[in-house]
Amino acid sequence: MNRMPVADRRQQLVGAALTVARTHGIDAATVRAVATQAGVSLGVVHYCFEDKSELLRALAQKVPGDASAQVIDALPDDATIVDALTLAVETLWRSMRENRDARILSHELTVAGLRDDDLTDIVQTQYAHSRATGELFLTRIADVSQVEWTVPLGPLCRSMIAVVDGYSLAWLVDGDDEAARGGLHGYARYLAGLTRPV
C-alpha cells in the first residue's frame, strides 16, 4: 500500500530486522518475521534483497559492535587519567546494562561470522572498526589527561577490547553486576599505571 523508493524500503526492512534480532535473537530474524515486523508482505523483502543472506549482511553492518563512540563523547575536557578512566568505565557500564539485548546480538553476530562465510568479511570489518575506535579513545583520554602511554597503542587497544568483550560475556552469562563493574574498574587501574605525565 505504502509505496516508497527501494533504498528507503531497504532501510526500513533493516531496521525491522534489527528490532527482531535484538529482541528474539539472530535466528529469529527470518525473512517472514522481518516482513511481519515491517508490516509488509513476504514478497517485498525478496524484492528488496537478493536473498536472506543479503538481508543478514545489511543487518550485520548496522549492529554497533562496541560502545566506544558513546564513551568518547562522554570524556571530560580536563581530568586526571584516573578520574577520566573511572568515568569512562561508568559510561561503558551504563551502556552495557541499558542495552543487554544489543550486546547479546553483537556476540551472536560475531559467532555467526565464524562459520558463515557470507558474514565473515563483515564481522572482520566491524572488528577492525572497533579497534580503530578503541585507539581513538585511548588517544583522546591521554590527551585530556595530559599523559602519554608507555606501551604501544596497538597491543594495548587489543587488550582493552579483549577485556571488555570477556567481561561482557561473563556478565551476560552470570549476571553478576558488581563483579563485572569491579573487573572493568580493575582494568582501568591497570591502564592508569601504563601512563606518564607529558
Partner DNA sequence: GTCTATAGTTGGATAGAC
Partner DNA sequence: GTCTATCCAACTATAGAC
What does the binding site for DNA look like in residue numbers (CB under 7 A)? Answer: 1-6, 9, 28, 30-33, 40-44, 46-47, 51-53
Distance CA 171, CA 195 (A): 28
Cell of 142: 591521554
Cell of 72: 568518547
181 — phi, psi (to 5°)? -60, -45
Residue 42 is classified by DSSP as H
Q: Which of 113, 133, 138, 188 binds a copy of itself (CB under 8 A)?
A: 113
Q: Is 196 helix (H, G, I), strand (E, B) or coil?
A: strand
Q: Does 47 bind a copy of itself (CB under 8 A)?
A: no
In the block, which residue shows the cell 565464524?
114
Query: Of 32 and 189, which has the nearer Cβ to DNA?
Result: 32
- E strands, 74-138, in order: none
Please identify, among the stretches 1-9, 48-56, 84-92, 183-191, the one whose residues bind a copy of itself according to the rule CB under 8 A: 183-191
Query: Of 47 and 190, which has the nearer Cβ to DNA?
Result: 47
> Facing residues of 195 across strands?
149
Q: Which of 25, 39, 76, 150 binds a copy of itself (CB under 8 A)?
A: 25
Q: Which residues bind a copy of itself (CB under 8 A)?
A: 24-25, 27, 104, 107-108, 110-111, 113-115, 123-124, 127-128, 155, 158-159, 161-167, 169-170, 172-174, 179, 182-183, 186-187, 190
